[in-house]
Amino acid sequence: MPASHFFEFTGTKSPKTKWKFTKAGEDWFCFAGLWRPMPQGGDALLRTKLYEAAQVLLTHGSKWSWLKAWGMRVAQRRGIRRAIVAVARRLAVVLHRMWVDGSEFRGSKDSTAAPMVA
């Protein structure tokens, strides 16, 4: 999905804190979007596969990781469907970071081993 920037909102009280994300030194960048299909682009297969991977991780996966624990907390607060989408998005961020720096996924709770994810 091409973009010049995007926003994320954090916090539990209104008004929430708004965070603007851009790519330093670049007018445009691309990222994998999980929102709705865009008429002029977007990879539906990528969205589908990320959603399926997140669904398996949360509902069928027996191995525990920080990502599954985070997803289960989201599911308790917001419901399983929203948790699956949230985990799919976070999974996309983790996979991109692994691709960029060549690291491996670390599922442990050790703070030095867990990758930082926005």
What is the tens place of the pLDDT at every residue in 57-85? 999 877 888 889 999 999 999 999 999 99
| Confidence band, pLDDT 50/70/90 cuts, at residue 113 | very low
CA 71-73-76 angle, to 5 degrees, is 110
Q: For the residues 18-28, what does the mean pLDDT come to?
A: 75
The 10s digit of each residue's pLDDT in 81-96 is: 999 999 999 988 888 8
Residue, of 72 and 26, whose pLDDT is higher: 72
- Using the predicted structure, report yes or no on whether residue 10 has a pLDDT greater than 70: yes
Residues shown for the chain: 118
Mean pLDDT over all residues of the chain? 76
Q: Is residue 7 within a helix (H) or strand (E), and if so which, with residue range?
A: strand 6-10
